C-alpha cells in the first residue's frame, strides 16, 4: 500500500470524525449554551484523532460499515477529550496550552472545565446506546462495558491516579509500564475493541490478534509521546513541551535514556506489526497507522 | 399500608443498596488503592439513598426482581455520589462537609476528588452493561441511554452549569424550575425510569404514570431541600446549612418565601400522588416515599 493511500484514508477518517463529533455534540443554541460552547471548544478542530483512526482501522478488519464505526469513534474520542480537559486543570497538570489553543479552564473557568469533562463522559456513553446501532444489542452492551472499564479506576482514571502518586518518585520500568497501560493503553485498546465489534465478522482469533496489536500500540504511543515531549518545542507539539520533565514525572526517556527509548519504540512497532502479520490486506491501515505513530515527528 | 411497613422496606432497601454498592466498588487491595479507598469513602455509609429507593419502588410496580433493581440502584447512586464529590470541590461550591464527614477533596486532595468523580461515573455505566442483567439487551441499552442523557449536559451536568450562571442573579420561578429539572430532576426521573425498566411488565400507560410521578417528585425534592437548607442547622443536615443563601444562590425560599414554598411542596406532593393514583398496591412504597420526602424533617 502506498503512503499516499494511507494519507488519503487518514484525512478521510479525520474529516468524517469531525463531522460525526460535531453532530454528536449539542448545538450552540441549546441551553446551557455556555457549557455547550465549551464542550465544542474542547472537542472540535483538535488532535490527530488517533483513537478514531484505530477504531476505523479495526472496523475494516471485521467488515464494519464506516457509518457505524463513526459512532464508536466519537465515543472514544469524547472520553479522550474529557480526560484532556480534566488533566489540564490546575489541580492536575495545570496546563494552559493544548492543541495550540488555551486550555478549557483558561478560556472559560475551572468550574466550566470540570462540567465540560463530566458532560463529555456522559455523551460518550450516550453514543454507544443509540437504538439499533448494531443488529445485536448484546454486542452494543459489550461496547459499553469495554468503554466503562477502560475509562474507570482500573483504566484511564486509575492511570491518572498512579501518575499523580509517581510525581517525584523514582519508579521502575515495570511500574511505569503499569501506569501507561492504565493511563493511555486502556483507551487505545478499547478503541480497537470497539471498532472491531462494529463489524459482522467476529472471529475470535482475529479479535485476539487485534487485541494484542492494540496493547503494543498503546505502549508504543506513550514511548513516542515521551520522546516527543523531551525533544519537541512547544510550537511543533501544540502543547507545552518538556512539561513532564519539569513536573518531575518519570518518562521512558528519563528512565531509559533517549537512545534506549527509541530502541524500545522500534521493538514495540515490530511486535505490533507481528501481532497482525497473519491478517489480510484489510489490516493494512492498522499497519500504516503503527508506522505513522512512530514517525509522527522523528 | 402502615408506617412501620414502609420503614421496614426502606431499611431493607438501604441495607441491600449498601451491600450492592460495596460489591460494585473496586476493593481496597486493587491498584490504585488510594483512589479506590477514596471512591469507597465517597459512596459508602452515606445518604438516605433516595434514588435507589425510587428505583426499587418503581421496580415493584413492573414486577422486577429486587436483585436486578440493585444494579440499577447502584448506577444512579454512583452518578449521584460523583456529582456530590465534584460539586463540593473548591472550583464549584467549595464545601468541606458532606453527610457529616469531610468532603473528598478535604479528606484526600483536589486531584483525587476529580478522579474519584470521573471514575464513579464510568463505574455507573459499567453497572448497566453487565451481560444478561435483563433477558432483553435492547432494554438494557435503553437504560444506558436514559442514564447518559440524565447525567449529561442536557441533564444533571447542564443543571450545574445553569446553577453556576445563576449565582448573584435574580431569576424567575420558571428559570429556577428549569435549573432544578436539570440539576436534580433528571437523575430522579432516571431512577424511576431505570427501576421500572427492570420488570417484565412494560405497560406504556403505567410507565407514563410513573414518569409523571418522577417529574413531580424531582421538583418536590428540590423545594424541600431549599426549605431544609434555610431552616436546618448543620448538625441535623449533615452538610453545611444555609450555604445556598450565603452563596447568593436563588432558592424556592428566597424566591417565594417560606410559607409559599411549603404550600408548593404540599401541592407537588398531591400532584405526584395523583399521577400514580390509579396504580395498584404495588405502588404503595412510591406513595409512602413521596410523603417521606416531604416530611424528612418538618
Q: Which residues contact B214 (CB under 8 A, 6 or more apart)?
A: B54, B58, B188, B189, B191, B192, B193
CA atoms of B109 and B89, how far apart (whole Å): 10
Residue B101 DSSP label:
E
Cβ burial A146-160 (10 Å sphere, 16+ → b, else e): bbbbbbbbbbbbbbb
A-chain residue closest to B113, CA distance? A91
Residues of A in Cβ contact (< 8 Å) with B126 = 144-145, 148-149, 152
Does B153 contact A110 at a Cβ distance shorter than 8 Å?
no
pLDDT at B127: 98
Q: Is pLDDT of B246 > 70?
A: no
Distance of CA A207 to the CA centre of its chain: 19
Q: Is pLDDT of A91 > 50?
A: yes
Q: Helices (DSSP H) in A108-203: which residue ranges?
A: 110-128, 137-151, 156-166, 173-180, 186-197
B 215-234 → A contacts, CB under 8 A: none
A56-60, B162-166, B251-255: which is most confident: A56-60
Among A295, A292, A234, A233, residue whose Cα is nearest residue A98: A234
All cell numbers assigned to B180: 432544578
Question: How distant is the Cα of A7 from the closest Cα of chain B, in angstroms?
Answer: 34
Interface probe, candidates B80, B121, B182, chain A, greatest A C-beta count within 10 A = B121
Distance of CA A164 to the CA centre of its chain: 20
pLDDT band at residue B2 using 50, 70 and 90 as cut-offs: confident
Q: How far from each other are the two terminal CA atoms of chain B, in whole angstroms?
A: 22
Among A163, A167, A258, A177, residue whose Cα is nearest residue A221: A177
Unique residue bearing C-alpha cell 429556577: B176
Domain extent for B17: 3-294
For the purposes of burial, counting CB atoms within 10 Å of the CB of B167, is it exposed (0-12), middle (13-18) or buried (19 or more)? exposed
Segment among A55-59, A119-123, B175-179, B195-199 with least mean pLDDT = B175-179
Give the CATH number for residue B248.
1.10.600.10
pLDDT at A74: 98
Does B165 contact A115 at a Cβ distance shorter than 8 Å?
no
A-chain residue closest to B130, CA distance? A145
- Residue A134's region, left for phi above 0, alpha for psi from -120 to 50, else beta, is beta
CA atoms of A36 and A42, how far apart (whole Å): 10
pLDDT at A298: 42
Average pLDDT rounded to a whole number, residues A16-23: 98
In total, how many domains does chain A have? 1
Q: For the segment A76-89, what is each residue's pLDDT rounded down to a tens digit?
A: 999 999 999 999 99
What count of Cα atoms within 13 Å lies in the side-chain half-sphere of residue B104? Answer: 30
The secondary element (H helix, E strand) that includes residue B102 is: strand B101-102
Average pLDDT rounded to a whole number, residues A91-115: 96
Q: Is pLDDT of B108 > 70?
A: yes
Cβ burial B214-223 (10 Å sphere, 16+ → b, else e): bbbbbbbbbb
CA atoms of A29 and B114, how far apart (whole Å): 29
pLDDT at A241: 57
Q: For the segment B215-232, what is each residue's pLDDT rounded down to a tens digit?
A: 999 999 999 989 988 887
Q: Is pLDDT of B165 > 90?
A: no
Taking the C-alpha atoms of B221, B226, B229 and B231 in order, what is their torsion angle to the nearest 10 degrees?
Answer: -110
Unique residue bearing C-alpha cell 447525567: B151
pLDDT at A242: 59
Q: For the segment B72-91, what is each residue's pLDDT rounded down to a tens digit?
A: 999 999 999 999 999 999 99
> Quick one: three-class SS letters along A85-123?
HHHCCCCCCCCCEECCEECHHHHCCHHHHHHHHHHHHHH
A 256-295 → B contacts, CB under 8 A: none
Contact B251, B19 (CB under 8 A): no
**CB neighbours (10 Å) of residue B68?**
17
pLDDT band at residue B241 using 50, 70 and 90 as cut-offs: low
**CB neighbours (10 Å) of residue A252?**
26
Computed over every residue of chain B, the mean pLDDT equals 93
Secondary structure (3-state) at B113: helix
Average pLDDT rounded to a whole number, residues B120-143: 96
Q: Which residue has the higher pLDDT, B195 or A233?
A: B195
Residue A185 DSSP label:
I
Computed over every residue of chain A, the mean pLDDT equals 93
Question: How distant is the Cα of B125 from the closest Cα of chain A, in angstroms?
Answer: 6
∠ at Cα A115 (A54, A46), nearest 5°? Answer: 35
Residue A181 DSSP label:
I
CA atoms of A70 and A65, how far apart (whole Å): 9
Q: For the segment A153-166, what is each residue's pLDDT rounded down to a tens digit?
A: 999 999 999 998 88
Does B115 contact A36 at a Cβ distance shorter than 8 Å?
no
pLDDT at A171: 84
Q: Which residues contact A5 (CB under 8 A, 6 or more apart)?
A: none
Among B139, B137, B241, B225, residue whose Cα is nearest residue B183: B225
Give one DSSP letter per residue of B135-172, joined into a string: S-HHHHHHHHHHHHHHHSTTTHHHHHHHHHHHTT----
The reply to whether B167 touches chain A by the CB within 8 Å rule is no
The reply to whether B155 touches chain A by the CB within 8 Å rule is yes
How far is the CA of B195 from the CAs of A142, B58, B192, in angstroms? 21, 5, 5
Q: Is pLDDT of B238 > 80?
A: no
Average pLDDT rounded to a whole number, residues B94-109: 95
Amino acid at each position: 500500500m502506498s503512503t499516499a493511500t494511507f494519507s488519503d484514508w487518514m484525512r478521510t477518517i479525520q474529516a468524517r470524525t469531525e463531522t460525526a463529533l460535531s453532530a454528536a455534540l449539542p448545538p450552540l443554541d441549546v441551553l446551557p449554551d455556555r457549557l455547550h460552547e465549551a464542550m465544542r471548544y474542547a472537542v472540535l478542530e483538535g488532535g490527530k484523532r488517533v483513537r478514531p483512526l484505530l477504531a476505523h482501522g479495526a472496523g475494516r478488519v471485521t467488515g464494519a460499515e464506516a457509518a457505524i464505526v463513526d459512532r464508536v469513534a466519537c465515543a472514544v474520542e469524547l472520553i479522550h477529550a474529557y480526560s484532556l480537559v480534566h488533566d489540564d486543570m490546575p489541580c492536575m497538570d495545570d496546563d494552559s496550552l493544548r492543541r495550540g489553543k488555551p486550555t478549557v479552564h483558561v478560556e472559560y473557568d475551572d468550574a466550566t472545565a470540570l462540567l465540560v469533562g463530566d458532560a463529555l463522559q456522559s455523551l460518550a456513553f450516550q453514543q454507544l446506546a443509540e437504538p439499533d446501532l448494531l443488529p445485536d444489542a448484546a454486542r452494543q452492551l459489550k461496547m459499553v462495558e469495554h468503554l466503562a472499564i477502560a475509562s474507570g479506576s482500573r483504566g484511564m482514571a486509575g492511570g491518572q491516579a498512579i501518575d499523580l502518586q509517581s510525581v517525584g518518585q523514582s519508579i521502575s520500568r515495570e511500574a511505569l509500564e503499569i501506569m501507561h497501560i492504565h493511563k493511555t493503553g486502556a483507551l487505545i485498546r478499547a478503541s480497537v475493541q470497539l471498532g472491531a465489534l462494529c463489524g459482522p465478522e467476529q472471529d475470535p482469533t482475529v479479535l485476539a490478534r487485534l487485541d494484542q496489536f492494540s496493547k503494543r500500540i498503546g505502549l508504543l504511543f506513550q514511548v513516542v509521546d515521551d520522546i516527543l515531549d523531551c525533544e519537541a518545542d512547544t510550537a511543533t507539539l501544540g502543547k507545552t513541551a518538556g512539561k513532564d520533565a519539569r513536573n518531575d514525572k518519570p518518562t521512558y526517556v528519563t528512565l531509559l535514556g533517549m537512545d534506549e527509548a527509541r530502541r524500545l519504540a522500534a521493538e514495540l512497532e515490530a511486535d505490533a506489526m507481528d501481532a497482525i502479520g497473519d491478517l489480510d490486506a484489510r489490516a493494512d491501515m492498522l499497519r500504516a497507522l503503527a508506522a505513522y505513530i512512530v514517525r509522527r515527528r522523528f
